[in-house]
Amino acid sequence: MSTAHIMKPAIRRLAVLTRNFSTSGAVLRPRPTQASAAISASIRTPRHASNPQMAFPCLDKREQKSQALLNEGPEPAYSKIGRESVHIYKSEEPIFLDYGGFLPGFQIAYESWGILNADASNAILIHTGLSASSHAKSNSLNQKSGWWEEFIGPGKYLDTDRYFVVCTNVIGGCYGSTGPSSVDPADGDRYATRFPILSVNDMVRAQHRLISQHFGVKKLYASIGASMGGMQSLAYAQEFTDEVEKVISISGCAKSHPYSIAMRHCQRQVLMSDPNWNRGFYYDSLPPHTGMKLSREIATITYRSGPEWETRFGTERADPSKQPALCPDFLIETYLDHQGEKFCLEYDANSLLYISKAMDLFNLSKTNRDKAEETRLGSEARFTGESTRDIKFSSSECALPNEPYTEKPRRRVVSFEEEKDDLRQGLEKFAHKDVLVIGVESDILFPVWQQREISQFLKESAKKLGISNGDNIRHVELGEDISMYGHDTFLLSLDYIGQPVRDFLG
């Protein structure tokens, strides 16, 4: 941990140089006041610092945690998901991915509620956010409350008396579906960072196999999701337009935006900088719990919003009787600390990296989707061609430019307007479907302009193609007077989300 004893020549020189400089202002001279005299007296005692050394109990705790993990466990929670608590669907066909990689086979963990009717016309697929498992609601396999417990059930917003509701863990995840912590059958080692880059569209194409091949569902009654689930819901409609009746996207978007990429970038960089991450190969050693904790603290900022925190935490300190500290001190800090701590062993670090990246890459623009399809089909063709196993994957190189970045406006390859029209064209494919888009004004991660964009482009396309006057696209926006919970509104303000969903499902 400590590097204090590493003293190479240059550093030693630096220490001497700066010490000479810094000392210059602190030479002791007779002081005129009483206070100064007191100091002069006090400093006669050697090595008695002017002020006490600050304590760092938050770092002590973290070090103790590492030690405990090395000695005793606990095991990371995600590794405890057993087959007894979820259903596992296995696809032994390979899946070819948007950015050129593939999985030779995969499995999907899923759970379901309600009963699939005879003509398989009442299935609703729930898509999850980044780190959620398939456990949206308690069931016979797992009695624990799910992450949307009160949203689903007999008579509830997703009414299991009427619908057969399915939720999966996305591929790339760690709650039973194939992800970086799974073993690559090709060599028997874990994928780790040999896992291929995923897209959100890849996730829904994997889910589609479960829906069509396992359940024999030819058309979902509805596809619904919030956050990354809202992305997936749109992606499902784009990929399998004729196989879904109604599309619901809550606090989602049609394409990521730079602030959200920037926030996720920081989460990934922080995690990848934890030495225990070890470039993804930590499964047989200490997991990067510190990087995971920090990453989750940053993420938590994006999940909640200013107005709620202002009311809830203000600037109160957790214990005003204590000195301010560099360890968590304000109420808001202890909240973030706790959120990070709670999560740091709940989720697989590599899953977080890959899925976070998939969110950055999410882009339903026509050009982007056409390119992905070309890549996928190309991989598949090469795969089934004569030169077996001869796919030329370009290595995932870092795109850091060799020249340092300078402050200048970028030269756009395509204009802002062209980019927008490209996105509109991407959405055009399902502009004739019944779509419900819900946005929340206090959301800073998926701001309301992103949901307005989805609705606007779908409506414009519907009109342009002479499909409708846009009535099939419903748009609901929750103002700050209704929810101050920001991005997490879908988990916390169930009634405000649920009512329009119920109305829309009919």
Q: Give the residue numbers annotated as catalytic, written as ranges.
A: 227, 443, 487
Give least dist CB 482 to a second copy, A. Answer: 17
| Residues in region 258-287 near a second copy by CB under 8 A | 258-259, 261-263, 265-266, 268-270, 272-276, 278-286
Q: Which residue lies nearer to a second copy by CB, 132 or 473?
A: 132
- Applying CB under 8 A, among 159, 346, 360, 480 the residue interacting with a second copy is 360
Find all residues with CB under 8 Å of 123, minimum gap 6, and list them.
116, 163, 164, 165, 166, 211, 215, 217, 220, 221
Q: Which residue lies nearer to a second copy by CB, 18 or 469?
A: 18
- Applying CB under 8 A, among 77, 120, 141, 197 the residue interacting with a second copy is 197
417 binds a second copy (CB under 8 A): no
Alpha helix locations (H) across 210-274? 228-239, 258-272
Q: What is the dihedral of CA 137, 139, 144, 146, to 10 degrees?
A: -10
Which whole-number Å values give the CA distances from 384 to 94, 107, 277, in the listed order?
Answer: 11, 22, 36
The phi-psi region of residue 192 (left if phi > 0; otherwise alpha if psi is between -120 and 50; otherwise beta) is: left
Q: Which residue lies nearer to a second copy by CB, 73 or 506?
A: 73
* Residue 240: CB atoms within 10 Å: 19
Separation of CA 488 from chain center: 13
β-strand 152-153 against 95-96: which pairing, if any? Answer: unpaired
Q: Which residue lies nearer to a second copy by CB, 364 or 462?
A: 364
Written as six digits, the tokens of 309 are: 């925190």
| Residues in region 445-464 near a second copy by CB under 8 A | 447
Written as six digits, the tokens of 169 are: 């863990």
- Applying CB under 8 A, among 155, 388, 417, 506 the residue interacting with a second copy is 388
Distance CA 155, CA 146 (A): 17
The phi-psi region of residue 163 (left if phi > 0; otherwise alpha if psi is between -120 and 50; otherwise beta) is: beta
| Residues in region 286-345 near a second copy by CB under 8 A | 286, 290-291, 294, 297-298, 301, 306, 309-319, 322-339, 341-342
Q: Which residue lies nearer to a second copy by CB, 216 or 275?
A: 275
Print the binding letters for residues 110-149 with a second copy: x by CB under 8 A, - otherwise.
----------------------------------------
Give least dist CB 223 to a second copy, A. Answer: 24
Print the binding letters for residues 71-100 with a second copy: x by CB under 8 A, - otherwise.
xxx-xx--x-xxx----x-x-xxx----xx
